[in-house]
Structure 1
Amino acid sequence: MRLQKQLLPLAVTASMALLSVGAQAASAETEALRAQIQALTDRLDQLEQQATVATQKAEAAEAKADAATSGRGILSGNENVRVTVSGHVNRGLLYADDGRESETYNVDNDSSSTRLRVIGEADVSDDLTIGSAIEAEFVSNSSFAVNQNNQTTSISNGNGINQRRLEVYFDSKRYGKLWLGQGSSASDGTSEVDLSGTDLVGYSSTADIAGAILFRDSNGTLTSTQVGNVFSNFDGQGRGDRVRYDTPSFGNFTVSASVVDGETWDTALRYAGEFDGAQLAAAIAYSEPDSTTVDNQVNGSVSLLLDNGLNFTVAAGERDVVSGDNPRFYYGKVGYQTQLFSHGLTAVSVDYSQNDDLALQGDEGENFGLQLVQNFDKWSTEGYVGYRNYQLDRAAGNVDDIDAIIMGARVKF
């Protein structure tokens, strides 16, 4: 009995010890299970985050593809070629007063005619790109075509649909650019360098907004002389079927040369650069057209834009003709740009131009203009209004001045 009493505490103690060990083991096992569950939960969260990121990337890629196909680019029939479609529509109202009568015309602004272009490009290497371009203008009631005797011009039956670019080109960063086909000659645009922001409604080609309006003589009779006969900016050789080469840019300079069908050839030097507080662009060209009346022509332009918005543009040109006094032109503009509204830049300018001996020997033509262009960046639109006064002094007899006002909008796509 005494022995049992002695063993009983020992048994109780041993039992409690065993129970304690068992409880500790169970507790450790429970903690291990909790850790495994937490690890699985963390892994699931990580997988969900990765899935969300992947979905977002896929949606972004799809949105980018949609933007490419519905915006600036379209899908090509060849996966190696990227295709872009762009252009603009430019419509306005033209009011013209010839000194005796006035008329309002619904016009396509010839300063930047309505047009559509398609460009396809393929990268041969990091250095060489091969491209092609198709561009046409669709002109109904061109501001350079309507006048007192012809108030409407139609694009039906192909009239008013003109080719601008039908060309291929090889563009090398190292060796320059070679063009083949219908497009700008080397001298095209060299009289039209303009950083004012108002060239849409007034630039060196001052006849564009009312080119066909006829002058009246002192008796009030319409002459056969149009505004476009008297005023020209001698802008090189324009566009044609040609072979053209542009050098790579060196020190912000580029040299171009082209041979146009009909034995016309030209060459041009261009500059575009920035320095402290200003941008400067310039061009000068020499050409020899296939002509029985003109031997050669020199023309050019320079434009300076200061950071404070002030800008200055000048242009000039002269034709060496076979007989008579050489026709020449001079052009000058002063402008200002500022951010008046949150929509975009507001640009204003005033300009003056003079042409001598162009329509007839002894002619002296002068014109001056005022321009305003308001940009609406989010809408890819520019609204504009411009005024110009054309004067002609003619030895054969005085003619009345012509006043022209144009207002409209250009919407790009």
Structure 2
Amino acid sequence: MKKTLICTAVGLFIANSAPLFAGEVDDLKAQIQKLMTRVEQLEKQKTTAVADSKPTVTSGEKQVRLSISGQVNRGLLITDDGEETDYHNVDNDASSTRIRFIGEADPTDELTVGAAIEVQFESNSTADVSQLTRETGDPGTGTDNFTQRRLEVYFDHKRFGKLWLGQGWTASEGTSEYDLSGTALAGYSDTDILAGGTFFRGSDGVLSAIRVKSVLTNLDGLGRDDRIRYDTPSFGGLKLATSLVDGDAWDVAALYSSAFPGFKLVGALAYAQTSSADQVNGSASILLDNGLNFTLGAGDQDKDGTSADPSFYYAKLGYRASWFSVGKTSLSVDYHQTDDAGVAGDDASSVGLQLVQEIKPWATEAYVGLRNYELDRPGSNFEDVSALLAGVRVKF
């Protein structure tokens, strides 16, 4: 149709114009040929665009951008308590199966108004399953859970910072977990997540009532909660944040992230106070351009009315490489020490190995984590707990 219109227009132009010389006719033919070639290119692009178009998610409010995303993270967990070996099909609590809805609008060039709903679905969480899960049922945990992660609104201004209101990250949440190793799926400073529900077994062969997660902690701030939070804008990679949490709790944190010639550095330092305790914690991680990375974390908590004041430190050495075209391969080894988390005098430690392989064409990561847990308690003797977790996380 477009070609016909072009030819008709050219014909009318020639018919109503003065006589043309031979050279002028040749020039006109060349111009017409270029124009028709360009029309064919545009028609092909339009056809390709229509063929490649995908259904889009739309909001009930035309001025709001709506996105839906999430992930499924499943694996096989094998634990050994020194006498018994157990197998569990699990959801990896290091980055649980979840779905999120985020809607955003831009009233001005500097202001974004948003709302977020994020929930997780876990069947057999790695942090909960134990030797009793399939035998008699474990009254301390459920094999399935559906829990909220984010139910909040926020106002993000380029010059004035960001204000959050609702259920979500407190200012100190994640400040013990800054980690550039690329292996957090298989192991990071919250080491009890890999097999936290497992009970230690006494040297006499009797299963104790002490779980791995009751004696190991990374004191990671106030977690996610109902709060009001404010973050300053970033100044040279540094920003400050504070939140007021339900139950007379509050926190403040300094958060840093920046890239330099040859390396990237991230870090955080936080202070949090509740009605029964106060604590300080933080972490830092550096990733060199050659793939080597180092991560450190530490924290101390002062509890009211008890002599058991937990403290921890964590160290990780890692390496990231592009050995395969599908994505980066990340390897690491780490060590975690926690004192006095269960009762005064407790000395709990964990050492682990991690491997994570990106598979970008599938939006997938495959991982393996191997970990050993040890508990020394005055007057008691316990067998070590060993755990192996292998799984995949698929994002959408």
TM-score, normalised via structure 1 length: 0.86
Give the SS at the match of 1:368: strand
Counterpart for residue 107 of structure 2: 124
2:380 paired with 1:392: no
Quote the Cα distance in structure 2 between the aligned partners of 1:284 and 1:195: 16
Following TM superposition, by how much is the alpha carbon of 1:45 offset from its aligned partner in structure 2, in angstroms? Answer: 3.0
Following TM superposition, by how much is the alpha carbon of 1:289 offset from its aligned partner in structure 2, in angstroms? Answer: 1.6
2:174 paired with 1:189: yes
User: Contact 2:320–2:330 (CA<8 Å) still a contact in 1?
Assistant: yes
Counterpart for residue 131 of structure 2: 148
Larger Rg: 1
Counterpart for residue 80 of structure 1: 63
Q: Matched residues, percent identical?
A: 50
2:27 paired with 1:45: no
Structure 1 residue aligned with 2:302, among 320, 323, 328?
320
Tell me the amino acid that sits aligned with residue 48 of structure 1: M
Structure 2 residue aligned with 1:220, among 198, 205, 212?
205
Tell me the amino acid that sits aligned with residue 149 of structure 2: R
Quote the Cα distance in structure 1 between the aligned partners of 2:47 and 2:346: 66
Figure out how many residues of one structure are paired with residues of the other and give that number: 373
Quote the Cα distance in structure 1 between the aligned partners of 2:50 and 2:153: 32
Quote the Cα distance in structure 2 between the aligned partners of 1:42 and 1:397: 95
Quote the Cα distance in structure 1 between the aligned partners of 2:338 and 2:318: 22
Tell me the amino acid that sits aligned with residue 235 of structure 2: F
Quote the Cα distance in structure 2 between the aligned partners of 1:56 and 1:290: 67
150 and 125 in structure 1: CA distance in 2 versus 1, 3 angstrom threshold: same
Following TM superposition, by how much is the alpha carbon of 1:380 offset from its aligned partner in structure 2, in angstroms? Answer: 1.0
Quote the Cα distance in structure 1 between the aligned partners of 2:372 and 2:248: 38
Structure 1 residue aligned with 2:357, among 370, 374, 378?
374
Following TM superposition, by how much is the alpha carbon of 1:150 offset from its aligned partner in structure 2, in angstroms? Answer: 1.1
| TM alignment of 1:207-356, pairs within 5 A | 207-291=192-276, 294=277, 296-322=278-304, 323-356=306-339
Gaps of 5+ in 1: 1-30
Quote the Cα distance in structure 1 between the aligned partners of 2:59 and 2:76: 38
Quote the Cα distance in structure 2 between the aligned partners of 1:54 and 1:182: 49
Give the SS at the match of 1:139: strand
Give the SS at the match of 2:194: coil
Counterpart for residue 101 of structure 1: 84
95 and 159 in structure 1: CA distance in 2 versus 1, 3 angstrom threshold: closer
Moved more, 127-136 or 320-329: 320-329
Following TM superposition, by how much is the alpha carbon of 1:159 offset from its aligned partner in structure 2, in angstroms? Answer: 4.7
Give the SS at the match of 1:207: helix
Following TM superposition, by how much is the alpha carbon of 1:79 offset from its aligned partner in structure 2, in angstroms? Answer: 2.0
Following TM superposition, by how much is the alpha carbon of 1:83 offset from its aligned partner in structure 2, in angstroms? Answer: 1.1
Tell me the amino acid that sits aligned with residue 186 of structure 2: V
Quote the Cα distance in structure 2 between the aligned partners of 1:182 and 1:89: 22
Following TM superposition, by how much is the alpha carbon of 1:59 offset from its aligned partner in structure 2, in angstroms? Answer: 4.5
88 and 49 in structure 1: CA distance in 2 versus 1, 3 angstrom threshold: same
User: Contact 2:124–2:144 (CA<8 Å) still a contact in 1?
Assistant: no
Following TM superposition, by how much is the alpha carbon of 1:51 offset from its aligned partner in structure 2, in angstroms? Answer: 2.8
Moved more, 35-44 or 300-309: 35-44
Quote the Cα distance in structure 1 between the aligned partners of 2:38 and 2:387: 65
Structure 2 residue aligned with 1:204, among 189, 203, 211?
189
Following TM superposition, by how much is the alpha carbon of 1:35 offset from its aligned partner in structure 2, in angstroms? Answer: 6.5
Following TM superposition, by how much is the alpha carbon of 1:138 offset from its aligned partner in structure 2, in angstroms? Answer: 0.6
TM-score, normalised via structure 2 length: 0.89
Q: Which aligned runs of 4 or more in structure 1 are off by greater than 2 angstroms?
A: 31-64
Quote the Cα distance in structure 2 between the aligned partners of 1:279 and 1:67: 37
Deviations 1:88-128 (A, max 9, x none): 11100000000010011000011110111111111111100
Give the SS at the match of 1:79: coil
User: Contact 2:128–2:143 (CA<8 Å) still a contact in 1?
Assistant: no
Considering only aligned residues, what root-mean-square deviation do their CA atoms show, in Å?
2.2
Q: Flag the structure with higher helix content.
A: 1
Tell me the amino acid that sits aligned with residue 119 of structure 1: I
Quote the Cα distance in structure 2 between the aligned partners of 1:360 and 1:306: 40
Tell me the amino acid that sits aligned with residue 123 of structure 2: S
Following TM superposition, by how much is the alpha carbon of 1:84 offset from its aligned partner in structure 2, in angstroms? Answer: 1.1
Following TM superposition, by how much is the alpha carbon of 1:375 offset from its aligned partner in structure 2, in angstroms? Answer: 0.8
Quote the Cα distance in structure 1 between the aligned partners of 2:143 and 2:290: 46
Give the SS at the match of 1:208: helix
Gaps of 5+ in 2: 1-18
Following TM superposition, by how much is the alpha carbon of 1:211 offset from its aligned partner in structure 2, in angstroms? Answer: 0.6
User: Contact 2:78–2:389 (CA<8 Å) still a contact in 1?
Assistant: yes
